[in-house]
Amino acid sequence: METIKTWYKNLPDKKVYVELITAILTIPVLITVFLTNVNNLKKTNQPTKNPQEKVLSANSTQAPSITPEEKINPSASQTSQTKETVTPTKEECKKLVGPVEIIFPKENEIVIKNPLCLDISYRKEEYCPVVWSYRINGTSWSDYTDKSICLYNLEAGEKQLELRVKSIVSEDETVLRRNFIYQSNIATPSVTQPATDSAN
């Protein structure tokens, strides 16, 4: 024990050895930091997966199958997929007033119905929606509507119906005209004349 003490006392500079021991102890820490950095660099250099592929792998246990055509020409399958997404699911309607016709009353028809409800035929499949307005014998136009038009208590006589049909998505407009004769179905009371006495 005394030899160790004397050996320690005879050392020229004790501080150098303390620093040496400290340096030796820091070597494992430096190695750990170095290995961690190398692993992180390897992870960043790996190609990132497409998010859609991650969703596929998470939802299905089996990898998506590739057809022989896709193996030969992968760009063909990609273009077909983009075509499907670009194609709209619903076609746009035509912005014109389509074929429209007044079914009732017919031209020069005698009408006695009260109310007189117009029968308008319009194809809605291909064309955008329309609204209509009407007037009788050149009076002021009614408000636009897409509801049925019924005329109440018309006066008897010749009538000219004008129907203005307008597209709600464009300025396209069509005016239809129909002439008819309206007769009131209310019977006029007959005037009875008092009987005259032939004897007088």
Question: How far apart are alpha carbons 142 and 164 in whole angstroms?
Answer: 10
Mean pLDDT of 159-171: 92
CB 147 within 8 A of CB 134: no
Confidence of residue 43 (pLDDT cuts 50, 70, 90): confident
Instruction: Indicate if the pLDDT at residue 77 is higher than 50.
Output: no
pTM value > 0.75: no
The DSSP-derived string for 170-190 is: SS-EEEEEEEEEE---SPPPP
Mean pLDDT of 88-92: 54
**pLDDT at residue 20 in the model:** 75
Instruction: Indicate if the pLDDT at residue 139 is higher than 70.
Output: yes
